[in-house]
Amino acid sequence: MTNDRKNKKDEQLEIFRVHDKGEKLTTNQGLKVSEDEFSLKAGVRGPTLMEDFHFREKMTHFDHERIPERVVHARGYAAHGEFQVYESMKQYTRAKFLQDPTVKTPVFVRFSTVVGNRGSSDTFRDVRGFATKFYTEEGNYDLVANNMPVFFIQDGIKFPDIVHAIKPEPHNEMPQASSAHDTYWDFVVANQESAHMTMWLMSDRAIPRSFRMMEGFGVHTFRFVNDEGKAHFVKFHWKPTLGAHSLIWDEAQEIAGRDPDFHRRDLWENIERGNYPEYELGVQIIEEKDEFKFDFDILDSTKLWPEEDVPVKIIGKMTLNRNVDNVFAETEQVAFHPGHVVPGIDFTNDPLLQGRLFSYTDTQLIRLGGPNFHEIPINRPVCPFHNNQRDGYHRQTINVGKVSYHKNTLWGNTPAEASVAEGGFKHYEEKVEGRKVQARSESFADHFSQATLFWNSMSDAEKKHIINAFQFELGKVHSESVKQQVVDMFGNVNLQLATEIATYLGLTPPKSGISNITKTSPALSLENTKKTVETRKVAVILTDGFPESDVLFVLDALKSSGIQPEIISENFGKVVGNKGTELEVDNTFETTNSVLFDAVYMINGSKTSKKFNKDAAYFIDKAFSHYKPIGATHEGIKWFEVNHFVGNPGVVVGNDMRKFSKEFKEAIAAHRHWNRSVV
């Protein structure tokens, strides 16, 4: 490993790494094994003997290999990296890892889908988890975020209900990884606080192009507390430096079959190639005195703080630069918890956050089999930890000595509590008064204004995608009553939206809605994200006899901008240019598909076959219909003309290679070209 990727966490993990290659096979007791092909039998055709301890150990271990998958976020993928703050945040927080711009804090990030099983596919319509563990000098800080800034419910007590409703229905365990079924939509109409989150779920945000091109949001309002004990409300954001981009639904569904590992492969491959994903950390800060200045309750997790009203201050950057060594040991066993905080970061009374503070430790107890999961290498803090907690399943620490209680005199009352000056965590002394009640504040009652704000902020293409998503999902719902209630409910978000859903489903459109919100928040639209070309994948369709000097020029031009071209042809092996240059074929029309690329460049060559032509036509046609940038030079141009592609937005043709390369790159930066006439 290069030195720049070495850090304190990596050094700690190194102690636990085992390299088996080249070693002798042993039992777990260290005994060398002389036979691993045949169990011990009474005679070559006789029964296996109980005495065969190696067989028993091997089989028993195998029989116990599985642990329960996470109750939500079961399918995930993770990477190591580091975080660096740009400037000291001392004014707001005493968190040590946010003070010194020269300090690199090791991080471990796990991305996930929420609903699907561990073995489901990456690209289903779903919320994505974005959980970061910062291994700070003051202990682990976990920012357990999602790629959407709001949530389905307002109170943690309803979490089992929303999860039961959105997971596959219990009587037949269908559908997998999808909200497109009766119980989810029944939950929505019966729990209208879910309106805003449902808008996000039906939007392009729910089908990201890549984990590397996805925003992250801490969702809740947290507190920053500084050295003087002064607090500010804070919301956390991750902003990917590549911008936030999405797939389209038809493509997402097809990828789910063609490459169920699409997102994990993308993350893994780019880290292996040195295209390290980067995310800037942003904070929105509100002064305590301004708590009631907004037309929503800042403790309500179904609300966001519009970035135009409360700007996002960018305070640092995280870079993911190392893949895991072992998915089970690291990705599967990592245990996140929003309650893992460090001095300077504290909670608020957000009732959803309060519920989470209980749930996460509890779930690790069953999932990781006992209270010592903090000792698993990936979960260990990089700073020392001392306390009087003892024993339990799988305990590894050997606490020396006879004292395991507080207070004591035998050890001078150690391990000793630390004062605030010594780095001790002190809960923020918020004044709280009230009766014990089971109720929700009236200030949480508006479920539609921000759902409308979200709708208003979408571009025309994004609105169309949202309408299509509702139509698809409700098209899968059987209950007529639930469907009609959804239409009526979303009339309160926007009448056009509800009417288009109703018309498609043959239902009655609502006559009026309650929303009169005209405000927009441009930051919510993906159209306003960063336009970048780095790491985009371009399929280059070639066959023998291709015009090599021109093609090599374009390939160089693409690569010099960080674009990743792949040669696609009929067979594996080499394609030979018109002057004898050979290019290695990366994939064939059988092993890949245009849905796995951001753009397609078609050249062909002088030696096309009937099959090549048919496969290439299928490939390019689909890219066109998915609004992707497509380009053609030489023989490829004829195809574009015959198929009436030319003249459409994002379709670049020409035989001036310099001009073509420039325009093609611009088309790639635009991501998709929605104004195209696709039938």
Which residues are catalytically annotated?
73, 146
Stretch that binds ligand HDD, among 41-49, 66-74, 79-87, 207-215 (CB under 6 A): 66-74
> Helices in 277-398 by DSSP H: which ranges?
351-367
CB of 216 to ligand HDD, least distance (A): 9
Smallest gap from residue 362 Cβ to ligand HDD (A) = 7
> Is residue 636 near ligand HDD by the rule CB under 6 A?
no
- For 472, list phi and psi in degrees, rounded to 5: -60, -50
The single-letter code of the amino acid at 427 is: H
Binding piece for ligand HDD, criterion CB under 6 A, among 64-72, 221-229, 499-507, 670-678:
64-72
The helix or strand, by DSSP H or E, that contains position 85, with its residue range, turns out to be strand 76-85
Residue 646 near ligand HDD by CB under 6 A: no
Q: What is the DSSP letter of 536?
A: -
509-568 binders of ligand HDD (CB under 6 A): none
Two tokens, residue 407: 């207070």
Q: How far is the CB of 360 from ligand HDD (least distance, A)?
A: 5
* Subset of 212-251 contacting ligand HDD (CB under 6 A): 219-220
Nearest approach in angstroms of CB 198 to ligand HDD is 15
Candidate residues 5, 56, 71, 459; the one interacting with ligand HDD per rule CB under 6 A: 71
Answer yes or no whether residue 359 interacts with ligand HDD by CB under 6 A.
yes
Residue number, 340 or 626, with CB nearest to ligand HDD: 340
Provide the minimum distance between the beta carbon of 46 and ligand HDD in the complex, in angstroms, as a whole number: 48
Complex with ligand HDD: residue 99 or 359, whichever CB lies closer: 359
Length of the chain, please? Answer: 679
Q: Which of 67, 65, 33, 69 is nearest to 52 (CA)?
A: 33
Q: Which of 70, 209, 626, 671 binds ligand HDD (CB under 6 A)?
A: 70
- The sheet carrying 630-632 orders its strands as 587-588, 564-569, 537-542, 599-604, 630-632, 651-653
3-state secondary structure 555-597: HHHHHHCCCEEEEEECCCCEEEECCCCEEECCEECCCCCHHHC
Whose tokens are 């998503």? That residue is 469
- One residue of 355, 415, 423, 509 binding ligand HDD per CB under 6 A: 355
Q: Which one of 108, 187, 336, 444 is in contact with ligand HDD (CB under 6 A)? A: 336
Enumerate residues 6+ apart whose C-beta is below 8 A from 305: 235, 284, 286, 294, 298
Nearer to ligand HDD, 146 or 210 (CB): 146
Give the nearest distance from C-beta 109 to ligand HDD in angstroms.
9
Residues 294-333 that bind ligand HDD (CB under 6 A): 301
Nearer to ligand HDD, 450 or 604 (CB): 450
Closest residue to ligand HDD, based on beta-carbon distance: 129
Q: By C-beta, is 74 or 603 nearer to ligand HDD? A: 74
Give the nearer residue to ligand HDD in terms of CB position, either 107 or 131.
131
What b/e string do you get for 50-83 counting C-beta neighbours within 10 Å, with b at 16 or more? eebebbeebeeeeeeeeeeebebbbbbbbbbbbb
**DSSP label at residue 42:** S
Provide the minimum distance between the beta carbon of 515 and ligand HDD in the complex, in angstroms, as a whole number: 24
487 is a site residue for ligand HDD (CB under 6 A): no
Please say which residue, 374 or 465, places its beta carbon nearer to ligand HDD: 374
SS3 314: strand
Which span sits near ligand HDD by CB under 6 A: 283-291, 358-366, 404-412, 481-489? Answer: 358-366
Cα separation of 276 and 242, whole Å? 11
Q: Is the peptide bond before 381 cis (omega within 30 degrees of 0)?
A: no
At 320, list the tokens.
């993911």
Kindly state the tokens that stand for 52: 């065969």
Of 85-93, 356-364, 469-477, 530-538, which part binds ligand HDD (CB under 6 A)? 356-364
76 lies in the binding site for ligand HDD (CB under 6 A) = yes
Residues 93-112 that bind ligand HDD (CB under 6 A): 110, 112
Q: Which stretch binds ligand HDD (CB under 6 A): 179-187, 221-229, 349-357, 454-462?
A: 349-357
CA-to-CA separations, 70 to 112, 116, 147, 154, 365, in angstroms, rounded: 11, 10, 18, 22, 11
Residues 109-168 that bind ligand HDD (CB under 6 A): 110, 112, 129, 131, 144-146, 151, 156, 159
The footprint of ligand HDD on this chain (CB under 6 A) covers a number of residues equal to 26
The closest of 637, 555, 646, 567 to 603, measured between CA atoms, is: 637
Applying CB under 6 A, the span of 70-78, 174-182, 313-321, 583-591 interacting with ligand HDD comes to 70-78
For residue 327, give the nearest of 47, 56, 108 by alpha carbon.
108
Q: What are the distances in angstroms from CA 249 to CA 313, 457, 627?
A: 33, 20, 12
Tokens of 223: 């507190």
Indicate which single residue of 356, 463, 483, 676 sits in contact with ligand HDD (rule: CB under 6 A). 356
CB neighbour list of residue 556: distance below 8 Å, 6 or more residues apart: none
Tell me which residue of 467, 511, 518, 513 sits closest to 492, measured CA to CA.
Answer: 513
| Stretch of 6-14, 71-79, 233-241, 644-652 lying at the interface with ligand HDD (CB under 6 A) | 71-79
Secondary structure class of 353 (helix, strand, coil): helix
Instruction: Decide whether 241 or 359 has the Cβ nearer to ligand HDD.
Output: 359
Backbone angles phi, psi at 576, to 5 degrees: -110, 125
Q: Which is nearer to ligand HDD, 247 or 304 (CB)?
A: 304
Contacts of 152 (CB under 8 A, 6+ apart): 162, 191, 193, 194, 197, 198, 302
List 54, 73, 626, 628, residue binding ligand HDD (CB under 6 A) = 73
Using the rule CB under 6 A, which residue among 72, 267, 517, 583 binds ligand HDD? 72
Measured from the CB of residue 459, what is the shortest distance to ligand HDD in angstroms?
Answer: 26
Nearest to 200 by CA among 493, 441, 487, 598: 493
How far apart are alpha carbons 612 and 569 in whole angstroms? 8
- Which of 12, 363, 471, 625 binds ligand HDD (CB under 6 A)? It is 363
| Spatial separation of the C-alpha atoms in residues 186 and 184, rounded to whole Å | 5
* Nearest one of 210, 222, 187, 205 to 525, comparing CA atoms: 205
The contact set with ligand HDD (CB under 6 A) reads: 70-73, 76, 110, 112, 129, 131, 144-146, 151, 156, 159, 219-220, 301, 334, 336, 352, 355-356, 359-360, 363
